[in-house]
Amino acid sequence: MTSVDIQALNERIYIESGFVETLTNETSKVIIGQNTMIERLLMGLLAGGHVLLEGLPGLAKTLAIRTLSTAVNGKFSRIQFTPDLLPADIIGTMIYNPAKNDFSVRKGPIFANFVLADEINRAPAKVQSALLEAMQEKQVTIGKDTFKLEEPFLVLATQNPIEQEGTYPLPEAQTDRFMLKVKITYPTKEEEQIIMRQNIVGGAFEKISAVVDTKTIMSARKTVREVYMDEKIERYILDIVFASRQPAEHGLSKLENLISYGGSPRASINLAMASKAYAFLKRRGYVIPDDVRSVCHDVMRHRIGLTYEAEAENITQEDIVGHILNTVEVP
């Protein structure tokens, strides 16, 4: 692309991304602080990637997802994951009709634009895997019939830290389907004071209005893919992902005994898409290295396996990604 093309694209994206500010302001009526969480949810929405939120109970994970779905005017569905949940409780099942002497399909809560999988790691792997086809293929098979899911389709899952009692670690195949894994932290003292006042004095949250429709989101998704990414940025992304697989070849030999497996090709795809979505949120028509660095932890932290040696030394995925970013040359 010529500099003129990039300038024209930049101007167009600046105009088309105007709804982002409106959407952010609307969600901030209810969600105090947690700006990073809202930003990451919007990135998933714009890039068409599923988002996994990890944090302790009471940090507004569920509230944030419900608020976003209301502001976007999409169909919202909530599934509370429990140890006794069955796959049919998620995707639906075949129901026998005695009057007609045949079976009919009863669709489950997966048939929505925004599917909130609440406390996803409280259900066993068999139930968690019921989401896999829907997340990857955007379709659901019930009996002999296959149903396409309506776009936009987004799984927004919450989980408590694995150390919590009564939780099951997500299978690697499923965590890899999530574009982002976002860690939620406590609000600041000032933010929590506002939250406390909101809940005690008012007793109810301010009403959220639908400020964006699903057509706008689908149009924005196409525009996000048009955000310009230079070949040097593409190579930078590949260097980061390959450094997680072959650390010794990228000047990180000290990590070789700490990583059991690195990022899959989905890591490269999702890091590129997340960087483009981040640039779009910043109302920019091109990706810069800082965009990649800003989203890298969220894209990579759940795609790196740790060895027993790493766990014994209390080294986390955060540490690994940090070392990679500090070592890989920035274009």
**Each residue's pLDDT tens digit, 305-322:** 888 988 888 888 889 999
Predicted local confidence at residue 167, as pLDDT: 67
Go through the domains of the chain in sequence order and give each one's CATH number.
Answer: 31-198 (3.40.50.300), 227-327 (1.10.8.80)
Q: What is the mean pLDDT of residues 76-82?
A: 86
What whole-number distance in Å separates Cα of residue 172 and Cα of residue 205? 37
Section 241-250 average pLDDT: 88
Mean local confidence (pLDDT), 73-99: 84
**How high is the pLDDT of residue 166?**
61
pLDDT in tens, 149-171: 888 888 888 887 765 556 677 77
Q: What angle do CA 46, 29, 66 make, to 5 degrees?
A: 50
Q: In the numeric block, which tokens belong to residue 329?
A: 């040359």
Distance CA 230, CA 276 (A): 11
Rounded to whole angstroms, how far apart are CA atoms 127 and 200?
A: 38
pLDDT, average across residues 174-194: 84
Q: Given a cut of 60, is residue 3 above it in pLDDT?
A: no
What does pLDDT average to over the chain?
84
Q: What is the mean pLDDT of residues 178-183?
A: 90
Rounded to whole angstroms, how far apart are CA atoms 97 and 90? Answer: 21
The pLDDT of residue 204 is 60
Q: Is the pLDDT of residue 4 over 60?
A: no
Which stretch of 92-101, 212-221, 271-280 has the lowest confidence by average pLDDT?
A: 92-101
Element (H, E) at 240: helix 231-245
Q: What pTM was estimated for this model as a whole?
A: 0.86
Phi, psi (degrees; rounded to nearest 5) at 156: -115, 105
Name the more confident of 232 and 97.
Answer: 232
- State how far Cα 15 lies from the chain centre: 25
Spatial distance between the Cα atoms of 126 and 222, rounded to a whole number of angstroms: 34
